[in-house]
Homo-oligomer: A and B are copies of this chain.
Amino acid sequence: MPDCDCDYMLPTKEGWEEHYDNCISKWNSNVPCPKYADGSIRLLNKNLAGMQQDFIYHLGLDTAKYDLKSMFGDVKFVCMGGTKYRMKEFAKHMAKILNIDYEANNLSKHSHRYAMYKVGPVISVSHGIGISSMTILLQEILKVLYYAKVKNPIIFRIGTSGGLKIPAGSIVISSWGLNGTLEKTYDLPVLGKIRKIPSVFDKRLVQELQSMVTEEDGFITYSGGTMAADDFYRGQARLDGPFCDYTSEEKQSYLQHLCALGVRNIEMEATAFAAMAREAAVRAADVCVTLLDRLNGDQVTTDKELLLKYQERPMVIVGRYIAKYYEKINKT
């Protein structure tokens, strides 16, 4: 049994593994579990408890002017995605399927940075492009969930990506993130030295999400590795950026190597998302649609209409999961 008061270990066949995957107590026995027994987030940074007021700068919120508990205390799910447009659409989608009266209201408008909407138990929020932009948002969301004493939240990311040997329009639910030097870690320099934080997603959540898809949906859903690249062009072996000094053969052989490692798609956030969610002991899943098969090309030539249709697919799956899970919570 794990030596902590985390209630995360559910009585499933993979209970122990589940807990291990999500509780940092197991890989650093000097720290307590980052969750309280009631499921609310603990956040292991002791400085937070001593702060009279906390300015959550990029969301334009603070703990003195806003009552975060009353604003966000009922949150159960956070869904992040790159663009404001997509997350506004997701909020609308959730209002519809949860049957909630809703008028779009960007709660972080004053910050000029991210766009955040709330529909009942769901926060829908944009994170921009890339790890640095996403981690600012994610860390500030974790602080909001902490101050609001939210219990057992689940965080999703819905995104777009390039697929590897799978048809355009497929869905990939990430099992783990791979960094640019082919390791399953998020590499973050802290005080001048690189830290390598494991980037593995919650296994059960991947399975649960995958079980939401039916044959009638008309697209294929994969689980597997996701490369989080630091760049869209050279960082993803594209031949069509302003800079490129490798050959088409070198590119193909690199992408084939990624396939052999179990990578199904390439985006720009997975490693850091898996790592930070795990550090906070929050269940998280990265659900991306593929816009092209990178083995066949680099350019995103998908027409606008098809692109919007593709982008709906992660929304449908995550929306279905939330609706089902929320119904279950409300019944108990």
Which chain A residues have a beta carbon within 8 Å of chain B's beta carbons?
A: 31, 43-48, 51, 54-55, 57-58, 82-86, 110, 112-113, 128-133, 135-136, 139, 142-143, 146, 179-182, 188-194, 229-235, 237, 239-246, 250-251, 254, 257, 268, 276, 279-280, 299-301, 304
Contact = CB atoms under 8 A, between A and B. Distances in A.
Contact of A301 (B55, B129, B190, B191): B55
Given A129-B113, A129-B133, A233-B139, A241 B45 contact: yes
A72 to B, nearest CB: 15
B57 A245 contact: no
Contact of A243 (B45, B83, B229, B241): B45
18 contacts: A45-B240, A45-B241, A48-B240, A57-B300, A58-B232, A129-B133, A129-B136, A132-B133, A136-B232, A146-B242, A181-B189, A188-B235, A189-B235, A190-B235, A190-B246, A191-B237, A191-B254, A243-B280
A326 B45 CA distance: 51
Contacts of A130: 128, 130-133, 136
Contacts of A113: 82-83, 129
A180 B86 CA distance: 32
A135 B235 CA distance: 11
Contact of A83 (B112, B132, B235): B112
A134 to B, nearest CB: 9
A248 to B, nearest CB: 8
Contact of A45 (B46, B232, B242): B242
Given A129-B132, A132-B131, A234 B190 contact: yes
B128 A128 contact: yes
A241 B139 contact: yes
A245 to B, nearest CB: 7
A51 B245 contact: no
A54 B299 CA distance: 8
A20 to B, nearest CB: 19
A309 to B, nearest CB: 15
A188 B234 contact: yes
B188 A51 contact: no
A184 B57 CA distance: 29
Contacts of A234: 188, 190
Given A129-B132, A131-B230, A300-B57, A242 B192 contact: no
Given A55-B301, A132-B229, A139-B242, 20 more contacts: A43-B243, A46-B244, A47-B239, A83-B112, A113-B129, A128-B128, A132-B231, A139-B241, A179-B189, A180-B189, A180-B194, A181-B189, A181-B194, A188-B231, A188-B235, A190-B234, A190-B246, A191-B254, A192-B254, A243-B276
A49 to B, nearest CB: 12
A128 B181 CA distance: 25
Nearest to A135: B231
A192 B257 contact: yes
Contacts of A229: 132, 189
A129 B113 CA distance: 8
